[in-house]
Amino acid sequence: MSSVSRGNRGTTQPKICEVPSSSGATMPPESLLPAVDFELIFESASARLLVLCPDSPRFTIAGASNAFLNATHTERGTVVGRGLFEVFPDRLVDRPAGERDLRSSLEHVWSSKRADTMAPQRYDIPLPPAQGGGGCERFHRSSNTPVLASNGDLRYILHRVEDVTEAVLLERQGEAQRERIEALTRQSEVAEADIAKGNAALEEANRELEAFSYSVSHDLRAPLRAIDGFSQALVADYASTLDEQAQHYLDRVRAGAQRMSELIDDLLNLSRIHRSPVRRTRVNASELCARILTELAGRDPGRDVVAQIAPDLFSYADAHLLTVALEHLLGNAWKFTSKRAGAEIHFGQSRLNDELHWYVKDNGAGFDMAYASRLFSPFQRMHKASEFAGSGIGLATVQRIVLRHGGRIWVEAAMNEGARFFFTLGNDHA
């Protein structure tokens, strides 16, 4: 067994390398060159190298580069001359399946005299107590290269170790990220499937609503027409035999049919709000209010109402739905100020907690806030029909419209002190 060590450096025969002269320059004679200290060069190499003797299974360490010793926190004196696995017992933490371990790689090189590069492996380096002891997780890629004598005999095996921890960790992070992305993709696929299911259910519900509305629109009106028509036929054809009381009862029957017909119309209009898509455009809400109030005044020329409309306020909302909503709100304001002098209606925008909202205010009859929770439900009324006419569908319709825009509506009121309606329309800043 030959061993290279500092102790016998002097006896090692320096050997001059023969550099092939591709440039054609003539080499100086051997004797003119200083002796080259290959051992020193080897020990100073930046690579982490071990020279191993081919004495399988011991693989005696014949030399080590300083880089190797530094990386493994060892010293040359305690390493050289000892068997490789004596100094570095198998501390492999995880060996890729089907990969050679170091011993089999060395034996492969030993028997085949061919170089072998191993896959990156985890090999934790123990830290000296001065550095806190313990170990640190490192990954290494090792290659074992045969060093052959001129007669082809295996003289040494050059063991080279590269620290590939950074690369492995990066790859691991990449994998973790890939897994995260895959998990997210799976989650979003599940969510998409849920949404598709929800949409299908919504479409089904809309179809049912459609069929129901059609039935209400068409089938419920026919019996009402019969009630009204035949009551009238009775009055017309048998007037002589019906006394006043009988005619009064028939009038009540007819009024009932009329009322129900109006309710059906209101219900249908409410369901249309539900069914019509919200198409946002830029709407001049101030102009819209002015137009609606002009129409109200035109139908009711005896009224004297002061209307204060903040000018040029725009909303990015569905023009038709916004019109319907404002018709109801302004119509209510108009109606509930009808029994007082100095009626006022205000329309504009104000800001509360950084949220811009619309308002419609009046100084009319108002109502008791104790009943405000029922205000936006269909057919709920705050006043006797003899005081103020109405079906109780208007504010339910307004609320639907506001909700369809992703907004909300609320109210402040007091008996005989008017009502103030506030609403938002989602993100409608135009």
Partner 1 sequence: MPDEQIILLVEDNDDDAELTVRAFREARINNPIVRLEDGVAALDYLFGSPHETSATSTPNALPAVVLLDLNLPRATGLDVLKAVRADARTKHLPIVILTSSTEDADRLAAYDHHANSYVQKPVDYQAFVAAARQLGLYWTLLNVTTPRVR
Phi, psi (degrees; rounded to nearest 5) at 126: -70, 135
Query: Cα 201–207–211 angle (5° rounding)?
Result: 145
Burial (CB < 10 A; 0-12, 13-18, 19+), residue 236, is: exposed
**Residue 166, CB-side half-sphere exposure with 13 Å CA sphere:** 2
CB nearer to partner 1: give 143 or 261.
Answer: 261
Residues 302, 261: Cα–Cα separation, whole Å: 29
Q: What is the closest distance, in whole angstroms, from the C-beta atom of residue 387 to partner 1 in the complex?
A: 25
**Residue 269, CB-side half-sphere exposure with 13 Å CA sphere:** 21
Q: What ranges make up the beta strands (E) of 319-408?
A: 343-352, 355-362
CB nearer to partner 1: give 217 or 349.
Answer: 217
Q: How many helices (H) and strands (E) does the chain have?
A: 11, 15
Q: What is the closest distance, in whole angstroms, from the C-beta atom of residue 365 to partner 1 in the complex?
A: 30
CB nearer to partner 1: give 155 or 221.
Answer: 221
CB nearer to partner 1: give 66 or 261.
Answer: 261
The count of other CB atoms within 10 Å of the CB of residue 323 is 18
CB nearer to partner 1: give 323 or 337.
Answer: 323
Q: What is the closest distance, in whole angstroms, from the C-beta atom of residue 262 to partner 1 in the complex?
A: 9
The count of other CB atoms within 10 Å of the CB of residue 159 is 23
Residues 388, 398: Cα–Cα separation, whole Å: 19
Q: Is the dihedral of CA 362, 365, 369, 373 positive or negative?
A: negative
CB nearer to partner 1: give 66 or 217.
Answer: 217
Residues 216, 208: Cα–Cα separation, whole Å: 12
CB nearer to partner 1: give 122 or 274.
Answer: 274
CB nearer to partner 1: give 71 or 224.
Answer: 224
Query: Cα 345–347–349 angle (5° rounding)?
Result: 150
Q: What is the closest distance, in whole angstroms, from the C-beta atom of residue 211 to partner 1 in the complex?
A: 11
Q: What is the closest distance, in whole angstroms, from the C-beta atom of residue 421 to partner 1 in the complex?
A: 29
Q: What is the closest distance, in whole angstroms, from the C-beta atom of residue 218 to partner 1 in the complex?
A: 5
Q: What is the closest distance, in whole angstroms, from the C-beta atom of residue 231 to partner 1 in the complex?
A: 8
Q: What is the closest distance, in whole angstroms, from the C-beta atom of residue 429 to partner 1 in the complex?
A: 31
Q: What is the 3-state secondary structure (H, E, C) of 62-83?
A: EEECHHHHHHCCCCHHHHCCCE
Contact 370, 355 (CB under 8 A): no
Q: What is the closest distance, in whole angstroms, from the C-beta atom of residue 381 to partner 1 in the complex?
A: 22
Contact 344, 362 (CB under 8 A): yes
Tokens of 138: 């490192």
Q: What is the closest distance, in whole angstroms, from the C-beta atom of residue 378 to partner 1 in the complex?
A: 19
Q: What is the closest distance, in whole angstroms, from the C-beta atom of residue 398 to partner 1 in the complex?
A: 21
Contact residues: partner 1, CB under 8 A: 213-214, 217-219, 221-226, 228-233, 236, 254, 257-258, 261, 268
Tokens of 298: 């035109």
Contact 286, 308 (CB under 8 A): no
User: Among 397, 421, 403, which Cα is nearest to 411's?
Assistant: 421
CB nearer to partner 1: give 135 or 223.
Answer: 223
CB nearer to partner 1: give 257 or 413.
Answer: 257
Element (H, E) at 233: helix 221-237
What residues are paired with 159 via a beta bridge?
Answer: 50, 144
CB nearer to partner 1: give 130 or 236.
Answer: 236
